[in-house]
Amino acid sequence: MIITETMTVRDKLNILSDAAKYDVACTSSGTARSGDGTGMGNCELSGICHSFSADGRCISLLKILFTNECVFDCKYCINRASNDVPRAAFTPDEVCTLVMEFYRRNYIEGLFLSSGVMKSPAYTMELIYATLHKLRKECNFQGYIHVKAIPGAAQDLIAKVGFLADRMSVNLELPTAEGLKLLAPHKTRKSILTPMRLVQNKALENKQEIMLYRNAPRFVPAGQSTQMIIGATPESDFQIINVAESLYKKFDLKRVFYSAFIHVNEDKNLPAVREEGPPLLREHRLYQADWLLRYYEFEAGELLSEEYPNFNVLLDPKCNWALKHLEYFPVEVNRADYHTLLRVPGIGYKSAGRIVKARRLGTLAFADLKKMGVVLKRALYFLTCSGKMMYPTRIEEDYITKNLLSVKERLPDGISGMSYKQLSLFDDVNFRKEQFIVHEGVKRAPIERMLG
Amino acid sequence: MKKVYICSDNITGIFSAIYDAWKEGREEDNAGISLRDNLEQELFCEYVESEESEKKAAAVVQMIKNNMGAAVYMDIYQAVLAHDKDKGNAILRTLLAARKLPDSTKIMNHLSHSGVEKVFELSRRVGGEAHQFKGFLRFKELENGILFAEIEPKSQVLSCIAGHFSDRLPLENFMIYDRTHKMFVVHEAGHQWVLVLDDVTDTAKLNRVSEAQREYERLWKGFCKSISIKERENLILQRQNLPLRYRQDVVEFQQ
């Protein structure tokens, strides 16, 4: 432990941004707000990426911890109480100056403030509130703020913070309560879901207030999000997307983030170190499925099942679904409704929208589809234009699979290393055996019970 | 015979040429617009220099806004700013096609028309580039407290981003310089922004940054380094998301 009294802002920023880097969300989307001309800042609905770090992730917000001192001892976390790492804490003033000066130079879109638990959840939340209050009221900052609600803090405090922030999030940490008990002994599913429910209810209440009084203050206008660690506990993809689906449906979350587990601590309860690094392909597949849930009207149960609990490494979830449901295809571009078009591999929700609008003004041919952004090398097996397929192809699972694999999916660079790895029947999950046995009973029911 | 109107590469020029073609009742197959610096002569064409005026341009703008709506105008406006030598033709053909639709406001949906499709693509490209610069542009604080930024865009995006920054920094004096097109956006605290067509005259002044600026640059560079996760390092993905051409004026990528 290093004594923090003499630290400069630069040292603190080093320590506290390094400690915050495992938080996934760095989005600044979801709020549109013009500046009122008296302060600094506004918000774009789409969000703005200001830079990209060497790991290819977007830097949009000044992502820092208020402090990395922590009384909790979560096994996977670099800042856990039992780790001997340099500790530091900002003061509210320091955070405000950094945000204002960075923002003014267009380095950042706003602040992402998280924190370790210093002394107690209530004490930490109080400090976070003080910081945001100063930033909003004294510095007159009108940019984006994403803040973490600390599980266990008082309800009214969380509510007060929500009126200053654009987005709030409580980390679910691990997909199941069993995993949480094993790896985060100081947190329970209940202590995490309570603030989440609170934020949801408050936001609902606020929506009605705004309907009545247009200028009522807004409570987390960009909604709430959460994140789970993938690969630290042996849940299947099926369980994970079921949890995500319940969160979207029952807690009105805007986003669920998945973070591939990274080894920072040695602990007997964590999976063994794996040579190939964090399970990035699995994370990628989960995000793809997440998009299907949010934008493509899919349900978790359609993508995976108890019998096939993990995603195909070779095909994306949508192609995979289409190949198992060839009875719906081919689809006629000029007549099929929007919802059917959404399910065609190679057609995104934007191009589906464009197709629906454009065909009112004329018949579409394959060449037109290409211009609208449809990925024909995937879509051509599932579409007809005016009754004709693009090439004479067969509607057979094996035939299409073979062809789809030969065009090679464009994975984000760096996680395409799969082609050199020996394929295993058990997909991308290789846990130690005993962990499988311990958790065999974990099925869908307990997840629903927990979230219900 | 086909008549091609020659104009300069800016809003006034292109809209004036459209005005002339429209006025003479030309159709898609017998009218064209060419940019003065990018003239590729065709056979069996008559070439005329279009007489450019603010008044003509304003009339076209009003016509588009009245008949096709503000959203379509936005697309056409952005297409005019694009770096493309064929944009004049595409815009003219889009406007002529819109005339034939029962509801002209729906013209941008008509993507199977090659002119519309081109305008759509150009507009998206310019909008995309402008959006990138909203993020990747970096201000530096000069000794006199003015914020100054330089960019080198392909399209003339300045007028697309000026409003964004004025709304964001209403109490700041700032300038953004577009090296490609030699243009400035100048915003004085509490005033409207203005576009100035001029080259940089005094580079020395623009290089004298304040003491605080150096310190915040150091802090920011440190932040960008420590926020990256080593186990996930992926420089190719980084380059995909932030292409090299944007990096030349981005402080965290300078040595």
pLDDT score for B40 = 80
Place of tokens 């610069």: B133
* pLDDT for residue A268: 85
Q: Which of A187, A193, A188, A185 is nearest to A169 (CA)?
A: A193
Q: Chain B residues with CB inside 8 Å of A9's CB?
A: 219
pLDDT score at B96: 94
Shortest CA gap B52–chain A (Å)? 34
User: In chain B, whose CA is at the least distance from the CA of A373?
Assistant: B121
Q: For the domain that residue A163 is a member of, what is the CATH number?
A: 3.20.20.70
State the virtual CA torsion across A359, A365, A371, A375 in degrees, nearest 10: 110
Range of the domain at A247: 9-266+276-303
Query: For residue A43, what are the β-bridge partners?
Result: A33
The Cβ of residue B44 has, within 10 Å, a number of other Cβ atoms equal to: 6
CA pseudo-torsion sign A432, A435, A441, A447: negative
A434 pLDDT higher than 50: no
B138 vs A: CB within 8 A = yes
Whose CA is closest to A57, among A414, A426, A435, A452?
A414
Q: According to the model, what pLDDT value does residue A412 have?
A: 57
Does one domain contain both A284 and A322? no
Q: So what's the pLDDT on residue A447? A: 44
A287: pLDDT strictly greater than 70: yes
A293 and A215 assigned to the same domain: yes
A46/B252 CB distance under 8 A: no
Q: Is the pLDDT of residue A448 over 60?
A: no
pLDDT of A439 above 60: no
Query: Could A50 and B135 be called an inter-chain contact, meaning their C-beta atoms sit closer than 8 Å?
Result: yes
Q: Do A104 and B136 touch (CB under 8 A)?
A: no
What is the rounded CA–CA span in Å between residue A16 and residue A66?
A: 7
- Classify residue B159 by burial, with Cβ atoms within 10 Å: 0-12, 13-18, 19+: middle
Q: How far apart are CA B255 and CA B253, in angstroms?
A: 7
Residue A51, beta-bridge partner list? A59
Token digits for B253?
A: 């990528």
pLDDT digits (tens, 9 = 90+) for B224-244: 999 999 988 999 999 999 999
Beta-sheet strand order (sheet of B147-151): B140-141, B147-151, B174-178, B183-187, B193-197
Say whether both A328 and A405 belong to one domain: yes
Asked if the C-beta of B187 comes within 8 angstroms of chain A's C-beta atoms, the answer is: no
What is the value of ipTM here, to two decimals?
A: 0.93
Q: For residue A415, what pLDDT band results from cuts at 50, 70 and 90?
A: low
What whole-number distance in Å separates Cα of residue B123 and Cα of residue B18? 18
A4 pLDDT tier (thresholds 50, 70, 90)? low
Q: Is A271 left (phi over 0), alpha (psi -120 to 50) or beta?
A: beta
Co-location of A40 and A14 in the same domain: yes
Examine the domain organization and report whether A201 and A177 are in the same domain: yes
Confirm or reject contact between B100 and chain A (CB < 8 A).
Answer: no
Q: What region, left, alpha or beta, does residue A305 occupy, with left being phi > 0 and alpha being psi -120 to 50 degrees?
A: beta
The model's pTM is 0.89
Nearest to B238 among A40, A52, A106 (CB): A52
Per-residue pLDDT for A213 more than 50?
yes
Q: How much is the mean pLDDT over chain A?
A: 88
Residues A180 and A44 occupy one common structural domain: yes
Query: Which residue on chain B is closest to A63 by alpha carbon?
Result: B227
Q: How many structural domains are present in chain A? A: 2
Residues in A closer than 8 angstroms to B220, CB to CB, are 102, 105, 107
CA distance A246 to A448: 7
Does a cis peptide bond (omega within 30 degrees of 0) precede residue A330?
yes
- Asked whether the beta carbons of residue A35 and residue B168 sit closer than 8 angstroms, the reply is yes
List the Cα angle A292/A294/A298 in 5-degree steps. 45
Rounded to whole angstroms, the Cα distance separating A417 from A411 reads: 10
Residue of chain A whose Cα is closest to the Cα of B142: A105
Report the relative pairing of strands A167-169 and A144-148 from DSSP bridges. Answer: parallel
Residue A332 lies in a domain: yes
B139 at interface of A, judged by CB pairs closer than 8 A: yes
Q: What is the mean pLDDT of residues A126-145?
A: 96
pLDDT over 90 at A414, yes or no: no
A13/A132 same-domain check:
yes
Asked if residue A302 has pLDDT above 90, the reply is yes
Give dist(CA A112, CA A125) in Å, integer. Answer: 14
pLDDT in tens, B5-28: 999 999 999 999 999 999 998 888
* Distance (Å) from the alpha carbon of A45 to chain B's nearest alpha carbon: 12
Average pLDDT over residues A60-89: 93
Please indicate whether, in this complex, the C-beta atoms of A105 and B138 are within 8 angstroms of each other. Answer: yes
CB contact under 8 A, B231 and A263: yes
Measure in Å the smallest separation between the Cα of A311 and chain B Cα atoms: 21
Residue A440 confidence (pLDDT) above 60: no
Say if residue A197 is in the same domain as residue A261: yes
Contact B140, B147 (CB under 8 A): yes
Same domain, A225 and A256: yes
The answer to whether residue A362 is domain-embedded is yes
* Claim to verify: residue A341 and residue A214 sit in the same structural domain: no
A281: nearest CA partner in chain B: B232
- Å between A452 CA and nearest CA of chain B: 35
To the nearest whole Å, the CA of B64 is away from the closest chain A CA by: 20
pLDDT the model gives residue A435: 37
Query: Cα(A175)–Cα(A227) distance, rounded to whole angstroms?
Result: 9
B residues 4-43 lying closer than 8 A (beta carbon) to A: none
Domain ranges, ordered by start, for chain B: 2-129, 137-253
Q: Is the pLDDT of residue A394 over 90?
A: no
Q: What is the mean pLDDT of residues A356-368?
A: 91
* Regions of chain B short of the pLDDT cut 70: none
Rounded to an integer, what distance in angstroms lies between the CA atom of residue A53 and that of residue B227?
7
